[in-house]
Amino acid sequence: MAASAFMEYREYRDKEDDQEPTLEGPYLLCEDVFQFSYNEDKQVVSQRFQEWLNDAVLAGLDQWRRQL
């Protein structure tokens, strides 16, 4: 199994409720996907995932900062 991280931006140009948002992205946040197997130890997978997720969140925050 695998997980990937990306982000998209949705922007409403006007304040009208019926307007469709414009989308930007997706922007890839991690070069590597997180891969794991059903037979791996849960604690090991959890620790690896937490490290991978932290990197993805930091990359996402950096991408978001550049869009401001």
The CA dihedral of 33, 37, 38, 41, to the nearest 10 degrees, is: -100
Q: What is the pTM of this model?
A: 0.76
Per-residue model confidence (pLDDT) at position 13: 73
Q: Rounded to whole angstroms, how far apart are CA atoms 49 and 34?
A: 7
Per-residue model confidence (pLDDT) at position 62: 93
Residue-level pLDDT, tens digit, the chain, 68 residues:
999 999 998 887 776 666 788 888 899 998 899 999 999 999 999 999 999 999 999 999 999 998 87
CB 64 within 8 A of CB 7: yes
Per-residue model confidence (pLDDT) at position 10: 84
CB 19 within 8 A of CB 12: yes
